[in-house]
Structure 1
């Protein structure tokens, strides 16, 4: 009845399929690739069940071969008899595998199907989604099942489309892994790796008194994941402790990419209704819609301060209150500290008093070890994530952390481990066991 809503629904569905989402009733895979072959292979591909031997190119194929060819985890449980079917249907290893065969193979293994996952506890519920703790029958590992309800006239929420389209291409040790995507008529289910604790929960559990050594390890991992995103021109736009997940070992992973955007060149105009208030930079608070990677770096500075002190840096209740708190610490901006600010109509509307800048070290003595310029009025003066990783503050972690492959954890470096936090409530000493006592909380995925 409403042509506009119908058009919006159709456009949303188009985005879903472009993002690589699987529909249970359609022979599509979760890799999001087209039906064209991924190379020069001219083999006509059907289902892996209906196969033929290929010109004596057949050789004995192991589980490891299949895992490598299909980019599967090492602990995957292949269906009974699948090894023989794949060996018969797969082209020789010196030839590329068609994308259609890869999708069919993933589907037959169990990807893209609801019955592959066992739903356990409900973790939380939001406006558009409900998150469940689950278990994968393919690996027997715990997973997080984010079920996004699909309205008939509205289609999938744009945040879900963004999250899927970005996460499927972001493969990094410090970014939460999207394992699978399942699309039915009523629901879009995103299957994530399972981490019960976020940084906010971690700080609560240690009484907001963290070891300075652990702060350094968490900050390095945050910058490492963010630098990877920024190199790929992806802005997270919602950094806060609740969106930084922590594994049992202490691995920090960026999560909730619902507000993330791929940054175009030249810069496009974006919305200023992004980033949770306490972690939103002053230029965006004052209405700026032209921003780049420094929008995330302001949040890094705020999170670093919060880990050091155990309290948020600028806990404002409104935009105006937030700006007052920022200016009380950094001083009311002038043409010298923020060129062009005096001509901003938004800034003049508030009529701020003249606050004098205070050194951050006055508020947090432990902050003195590193000179963070992320909390700078001018986005041009904020250090980049890439440059921050090379700061002398991280020298004690050793040179090896600077050359790690993207998918390698910082804890793969010998000697790097968390220390016991001074305010840790648990009697378990993470320094010896690297184990944390987790408890279920409201979902950190929305």
Structure 2
């Protein structure tokens, strides 16, 4: 009998691993709540103190096979010690926002369905519980205004019936034969693991035949300086420590809430550098924020690809206008070289042997001081901008080093201490400036 159970379980696991990617997307909303960091707790989210495995489930045995669970209503409570279930108990059990509005009668239904609180829930039971509350359903969200439209998605301002809070609804159109775009799958999978105060929060996923809707916290677009640049670098340093390249940094993908908190958004082009690959695509980063090495065809890049974009955004926040608004790749390179000077072997070793560079036959431009184009920038800001806008990728300052730059000295030591605790709790800051 035991042997038959083992065979059945292995068969179930093999079938489960063979499911289509689109089917697995509906489970990610439930898994995301399990990985929230302590920073999210400050925003009103309570977590259950259970050791979790890499798949988002408890390392302990479930006590109830996921195959046995069919509906939260049909499953009876196995706890012999009956006790009154409160909203706080459910919030802790399912990692829900503290201000969530539970459906009428849900407390009693949850008491009948949940295993004892000292035992973990099965994945299917957890997913069914969240679904019954309203997660993963279009009717849970009220669509208000259209915020913008991109190549494969439209973003709407909306309101959640669960919390009465504003949300951003990113509707991704699904092709009948192709299913969910790879950019959407990549964005969901990365944001599931990236939980940080300066990265946009993904609240829910709704999957229908015609559309995949990602529900984000509602934020507004940004145009401001010092404290926002610091938060941009802090969020980026968090990503880079986890070997994630954003690859599409631009003002439109930086959002800010009413508290002044900046968030990195739109991870559709992001890439986990830990995934084994020899080269990457050079068809990344919006043209105005794409570094010269990638413009010239480089496919072997790392975190410096994002740092060039930070420099362009920094300039744009100071002046209110883009630094290199080119219309084509060649035009973009011309604009870069007109300000920073045409690269030479001294400023960019190996550039004169690049076939792509020689093809364009650029004139010999001389470098201009960046302060001529951004007169409001101070000396520290000018120095930081110069470190970000380096031709040679390895010479660009990293996000972590940029956070230590004297430009941010006015923010005080407490901000620096908090930053290094969030990035690496087990290490101490080691200033280099």
Q: C-alpha displacement at 1:88, in angstroms?
A: 3.4
Q: In 2, are the aligned partners of 1:150 and 1:186 still within 8 Å (CA)? A: yes
Q: What pairs with 1:88-127 in structure 2 (closer than 5 Å)?
A: 88-127=112-151
Q: C-alpha displacement at 1:265, in angstroms?
A: 6.0
Determine the C-alpha separation between the residues in 1 that align with 2:10 and 2:391: 43
Q: In 1, are the aligned partners of 2:324 and 2:332 still within 8 Å (CA)? A: yes
Determine the C-alpha separation between the residues in 2 that align with 1:309 and 1:210: 20
Q: For structure 1, which segment, 344-353 or 390-399, has the greater mean C-alpha deviation from structure 2 after superposition? A: 390-399
- 3-state DSSP class of the match of 1:176? coil
Determine the C-alpha separation between the residues in 2 that align with 1:9 and 1:184: 25
Determine the C-alpha separation between the residues in 1 that align with 2:413 and 2:123: 40
Q: C-alpha displacement at 1:369, in angstroms?
A: 6.7
Determine the C-alpha separation between the residues in 2 that align with 1:337 and 1:392: 25
Q: For structure 1, which segment, 146-155 or 212-221, has the greater mean C-alpha deviation from structure 2 after superposition? A: 212-221
Q: In 2, are the aligned partners of 1:12 and 1:156 still within 8 Å (CA)? A: no
Residue 347 of structure 1 corresponds to which residue in structure 2? 357
Determine the C-alpha separation between the residues in 2 that align with 1:132 and 1:80: 28
After superposition, the Cα gap between the structure-2 partners of 1:181 and 1:12, relative to the gap in structure 1 and judged at 3 Å, is farther
After superposition, the Cα gap between the structure-2 partners of 1:344 and 1:156, relative to the gap in structure 1 and judged at 3 Å, is same
Determine the C-alpha separation between the residues in 1 that align with 2:401 and 2:314: 16
Q: How many residues align?
A: 381
Q: For structure 1, which segment, 273-282 or 156-165, has the greater mean C-alpha deviation from structure 2 after superposition? A: 156-165
Q: C-alpha displacement at 1:85, in angstroms?
A: 2.4
Post-superposition Cα deviations, 1:48-67, rounded to whole Å, max 9, x if no partner, equal 21232324244333212221
What is the CA RMSD across the aligned residues, in angstroms? 6.3
Query: Which structure is higher in helix share?
Result: 2
Q: C-alpha displacement at 1:324, in angstroms?
A: 1.3
- 3-state DSSP class of the match of 2:143? strand
Q: C-alpha displacement at 1:214, in angstroms?
A: 4.9
Q: In 2, are the aligned partners of 1:244 and 1:254 still within 8 Å (CA)? A: yes
Q: C-alpha displacement at 1:12, in angstroms?
A: 16
Q: In 1, are the aligned partners of 2:325 and 2:332 still within 8 Å (CA)? A: yes
Q: C-alpha displacement at 1:390, in angstroms?
A: 1.9
After superposition, the Cα gap between the structure-2 partners of 1:40 and 1:155, relative to the gap in structure 1 and judged at 3 Å, is closer
Determine the C-alpha separation between the residues in 2 that align with 1:69 and 1:220: 35
Post-superposition Cα deviations, 1:10-59, rounded to whole Å, max 9, x if no partner, equal 99998xxxxx9999999999998799966998995442212323242443
Determine the C-alpha separation between the residues in 1 that align with 2:127 and 2:60: 11
| Higher RCO (CA-CA < 8 Å; seq separation 6+) | 1
Q: What pairs with 1:150-299 in structure 2 (closer than 5 Å)?
A: 150-194=174-218, 214-264=224-274, 268-299=278-309
After superposition, the Cα gap between the structure-2 partners of 1:40 and 1:335, relative to the gap in structure 1 and judged at 3 Å, is farther
Q: In 1, are the aligned partners of 2:46 and 2:97 still within 8 Å (CA)? A: no
Post-superposition Cα deviations, 1:202-234, rounded to whole Å, max 9, x if no partner, equal xxxxxxx99999510110111111111112211
Q: C-alpha displacement at 1:101, in angstroms?
A: 1.8
Give the structure-1-normalised TM-score: 0.75
Q: For structure 1, which segment, 264-273 or 385-394, has the greater mean C-alpha deviation from structure 2 after superposition? A: 264-273
Q: C-alpha displacement at 1:127, in angstroms?
A: 3.8
- 3-state DSSP class of the match of 1:33? coil
After superposition, the Cα gap between the structure-2 partners of 1:39 and 1:176, relative to the gap in structure 1 and judged at 3 Å, is farther
Post-superposition Cα deviations, 1:256-293, rounded to whole Å, max 9, x if no partner, equal 11111111366631111111111100000000011111
Post-superposition Cα deviations, 1:164-220, rounded to whole Å, max 9, x if no partner, equal 1212222122111111111111111111112xxxxxxxxxxxxxx999995101101
Q: In 2, are the aligned partners of 1:294 and 1:379 still within 8 Å (CA)? A: yes
Q: For structure 1, which segment, 92-101 or 331-340, has the greater mean C-alpha deviation from structure 2 after superposition? A: 92-101
- 3-state DSSP class of the match of 2:91? helix
